């Protein structure tokens, strides 16, 4: 039960950490293929370590 809440907190913090840079890039309009590849790779690494 405690570990479930802990992992939920980690997941929410990951979502916040990922959403802030994405919003910044949308604001700056610097959306290139390289940035998306970097974010997708970062999310894949997080998911591998998460599960």
For residue 19, which of 1, 48, 43 has the smallest C-alpha distance?
43
27-50: per-residue pLDDT in tens? 665 555 556 677 777 878 877 876
Q: What is the pTM (predicted TM-score) of this model?
A: 0.35
1-27: per-residue pLDDT in tens? 677 777 878 787 787 777 777 677 666
Q: How far apart are CA 21 and CA 39, in angstroms?
A: 10
Q: How far apart are CA 15 and CA 9, in angstroms?
A: 10
Mutual angle of helices 2-28 and 33-50, in 10-degree steps: 180
For residue 38, which of 25, 28, 29, 51 has the smallest C-alpha distance?
25
């Amino acid at each position: 039960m405690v570990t479930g809440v802990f992992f939920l907190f980690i997941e929410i913090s990951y979502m916040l950490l990922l959403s802030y840079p994405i919003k910044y890039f949308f604001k700056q309009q610097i959306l290139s293929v390289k940035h998306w590849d970097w974010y997708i790779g970062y999310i894949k690494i997080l998911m591998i370590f998460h599960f």
